[in-house]
Structure 1
Amino acid sequence: MSRLFTLERQTIAPIPDAERHGTSRGLVAIWFGMNMTPLTVVTGATATTVLGLPLGWTIIALLAGNLVGGVGMALHAAQGPRLGVPQMLQARGQFGAHGAAVIVLVALVMFIGYFSSNLVVSIDSAHQIVPGLPGPVAVSLCALVSLVGTVFGYRLVRWLTAAGSYVVGTLAVVAFVRVLSDGAVWTHLGGGRVTAAGFFGAVALGVVWQLTYAPYVSDYSRYLPRRTGARGAFWGSYLGCVASSVLLMVLGAIVGLAAGGADTMAGLHTLLGPGVGFVVLLGFALVATAGNSVNVYCSSLCALTLVETFRRGWVPGVRARVATTLVLQALGVWIAVEAQSGFASAYFSFLSVLLYVLIPWSAVNLVDYYLVRHADYDVDAFFAHDGGRYGRWNVGALLVFAVGVLAQLPFVVTGLYTGPLGAALDGVDLAWLVGFAVSCLGYYLLARLRPELVRLRRPAVREAVAP
């Protein structure tokens, strides 16, 4: 227990073998707990409240989306034990030292956004328990809990997340039993209508939810001993993340139907009743605020990676990590406070657009790691002043990335913008699938036909590396 409150000394440098620890079973607990937040429940509720699906088709769509998206997420996790560096720093192996900064910046904005949105949803839970609690006070209290975990670093963040999985896992079971034991609830569960747009939209919810973790999933598997191997990191991350996502999203879908489209957390509180509702929402709020340290921890690694990109030779230490954490935490709290009064709603919608940007990055990373370079990277070159063999800018990878982003635009379906093909498909969101497929195929062909454009010094294709 005393080691949990020892300041983490590592930041973005490779984790030495002597400091590696943990098991694939521990990853299951971490990633099961990672989704144990009210935000997961709210996300699942959108399938029935916004997309209008009936419960049966919602469960099928959410299950399919999480199962498929989880594969991509877990393939990123499998890279951690071998390379030992944060996922976003490893992007230098595909995009070059400066080229990767574009991806790191997108991920940084996304992490801060998810930290803020988790605060907002946690506050919604808190307001059901203490209605008169002022928004700024609630935000500050929630942020303080997550700040403690982030400052001490990896061990405490990991412990808080794993412990939260048991707490909220138990509360989720209680919530299921309580809600489904109410006969009146069943009269509402037959609502909804099956549409192609609704079904594929719900599938996209699951896929994108899983791929959201791709930019930092190996930040946790990188601490595993090398002997744990890629398979342990893959299955530990996959099973934990997919199981918890589906569990709470389905709970949210049920609440969305049973509560008649009311605010999800308020609806859950009403369905559970005053006593059980108080306990469940209190547990959700506490675990979510503690687990939210994950987003600040990973955003600090992104910020340090971004600064180190343009200050080569600088090795960030504990002070730099803690100072960066405080700045990012303050920024996230400010966004959450403003969101309480309706400001920044466009900002949270913009986060969905950022996910479309991350999908081509994920495709390039996976193809490069498993099919092109076969996990053979020079980690020292990631920190070289000139980018080493990967250079400052990898023109080929950046070109494929740009094409992957542009290929999605006609298919995009969001509150901010709907592409012409997305509209022609009656709102069916296939942008993520198009972007991923175009980027995978484009990068593979480029590496095979013009390997020099992706800074490859040997033939591009041979037997694939299994996770």
Structure 2
Amino acid sequence: MAGMVEQRSIDVVPDAERHGSAFSQFTLWLGANLQITAVVTGALAVVFGGGVLWSLIGLLLGNLLGGAVMALHSAQGPRLGLPQMISSRAQFGVRGAVVPLVLVIVMYVGFFASGSVLAGEAVGELTHLGDTTGIVIFALVTAVTTVVGYRLIHTLGRLASIVCALAFVYLGIRLLERADLTTLLADRSFHLPLFLLAISLSASWQLAFGPYVADYSRYLPRDTSARATFWWTLGGSALGSQWSMTFGVLVAATAGGAFLDNQVGYVVGLGGAGLIASFLYFVIALGKLTVNVLNTYGGFMSLVTGIGGFREQRTISPRVRALYIAGIMVAGTAIALVGKDSFLTSFKDFLLFLLTAFTPWSAINLVDYYLIAKERYDLPALSDPHGRYGAWRIGALVVYGIGLLAQLPFLATSFYTGPLVAPLGGTDISWIVGLLVPAVLYWLVARRDTGHVPDRMILFAEPETRAEATVR
């Protein structure tokens, strides 16, 4: 078992350890999105008043737009060989990167908790031990899988992409036996606020993967095509999420309160009883396990990145790695147990809140990587607060703060509604503002000061190279 456990954390993956092909991103992200939480996310578009036809179109647009942004982050992995949030040090400074990292960690713990509620129901039914025990069992399996690391995560993704796809085909057939699709699609009435809500729900779903998507492409060979990485990531994530969300829209439109009262139970009951029901509970747990492992792994990377920036730390021991992962598991499980009875409404607001926090980060990171640095980073300097990137890059941090504040007038949630929402007919366009404003501002600021951009990519020396240099 020890030989299977991944040894890398936030340190660069040497070329000798690179493996796999860009297609691995398709199976991983397909499997991660064919799951019950994506079904619930799609259902929310109808639950909050949208019609079936325009909800489906809105969700598709959001998945494509948000998916394109997250896939651009994924394409950084093979080139840099680093986890996603480490590259933020080039924009925010080695220590300044902790500012967006705090929100990233909150995101991981929140998604771990919300996913554990639904998966815990499935595990509880499957084992006949109840929801609470199911949540705890699910959390423990998540932690063990995360400790083993990268290879097992991709294996899990391949398994989930096949098993969950077969289950969703079966469930789709069963649903269409009950539902009159023609009638559901007959309502062509268009309501702009509800349409934009559907776009925001799916776009936020995709954008929330951005802070860790490169974690799962960083072991690909350095010469892997960025275009291939982009398209396979986008294809898997957009297809998987749209498939799940479409199912959620149709279930919510036909089942109404029966689905809202017990999402897991209704979906399983739709498929049948006995062995089929047991299989579907297993599928729900498997789909949630895939994405919860991603959340826990990403949370671990983010914690190490944040703390390592102050300790100038590049590597950690397997024991410390396990302790970080255990901490995330305990925090996420505690929140799941406390909040499991008020899941649906709070989850919708949580998604919209995340959108405001991560769109400015995505905009700054992508503008810097593709337009300012043009893929040229000094990798050793990303761990040196006294190096070319410094400890704090005030310009990027100010732009990030402006990006957050600029969204508030356009934000609509149950606990806060901005003053410009009503004049726009109740439409929430905060995510558009959160992408455009910081992207333009950061480009204007960063292009005036490119002294920190190296002439070429500066890599860490391989161990044998350092040894040869010492001999000479």
Runs of 4+ residues deviating >4 angstroms: 126-130, 183-193, 275-278, 341-348, 454-458
Q: Is the 8 A contact 2:53 2:185 kept in 1?
A: no
Alignment of 1:315 onto 2:311: no
- Is 1:33 the counterpart of 2:31? The answer is yes
Deviation at 1:268, TM superposition (A): 2.2
- Of 9, 22, 26, 2:7 maps to 9
Q: Which residue of 2 aligns with 1:430?
A: 429
Q: 1:163 aligns with which of 149, 155, 159?
A: 159
Distance 1:303 1:73 in 2: 21
- Matching residue within 62, 66, 70 for 1:65: 62
Aligned-partner Cα distance in 1 for 2:410–2:27? 36
Change (3 A) 1:97 1:245: same
1:297 corresponds to: 297
* 1:221-370 matches, cutoff 5 A: 221-261=217-257, 262-263=259-260, 264-275=263-274, 276-313=276-313, 315-342=315-342, 349-350=349-350, 352-370=352-370
Residue 201 (structure 1) aligns with: 197
Q: Could you tell me the TM-score, scaled by structure 1's length? A: 0.90
Q: Give 2:94's aligned residue.
A: 97
SS across alignment from 1:228: coil
> RMSD of aligned C-alpha atoms?
2.4
Offset at residue 37 of structure 1 (A)? 1.8
Structure 2-normalised TM-score? 0.90
1:426 is paired with a residue whose SS is coil
18-27 vs 115-124, which deviates more? Answer: 115-124
Percent identity, please: 39
1:143 aligns with 2:139: yes
Contact 2:120 2:132 in 1 (8 A): no
Report if the CA contact (8 A) 1:31-1:240 is conserved.
yes
Pair 1:87 & 2:84 matched: yes
Q: Name structure 2 gaps, 5 residues minimum.
A: 456-472
Q: How much has 1:340 moved relative to structure 2? A: 2.5
Distance 1:192 1:124, change over 3 A: farther
Note the C-alpha offset of 1:239: 0.8
Deviates more, 1:66-75 or 1:188-197: 188-197
Distance 1:216 1:274 in 2: 38
Matched, 1:55 2:52: yes
Confirm or deny: 8 A CA contact 1:128 1:266 kept in the other structure: no
Secondary structure in 2 matching 1:138: helix
Partners of 1:346 and 1:62 in 2: CA distance: 20
Provide structure 1 residue ranges, at least 5 long, that are not aligned to the other structure: 459-467
CA contact (8 A) 1:145 1:290 kept: no
Show the counterpart of 1:218. 214
Judging changes above 3 Å, is the alpha-carbon distance between structure 1 residues 121 and 423 closer, same or farther for their aligned structure 2 residues?
Answer: farther
Q: How far does residue 83 in structure 1 lie from its aligned partner after superposition?
A: 0.7
Residue-pair matches, total: 451
Measured against aligned partners, the alpha-carbon deviations of 1:187-228 in whole angstroms (never above 9, x if no partner) come to 666569531111011011121111111100100111100111
Alpha-carbon distance between aligned partners in 1 of 2:278 and 2:445, rounded to the nearest angstrom: 56
CA contact (8 A) 1:124 1:265 kept: yes
Contact 1:63-1:206 at 8 Å conserved across structures: yes
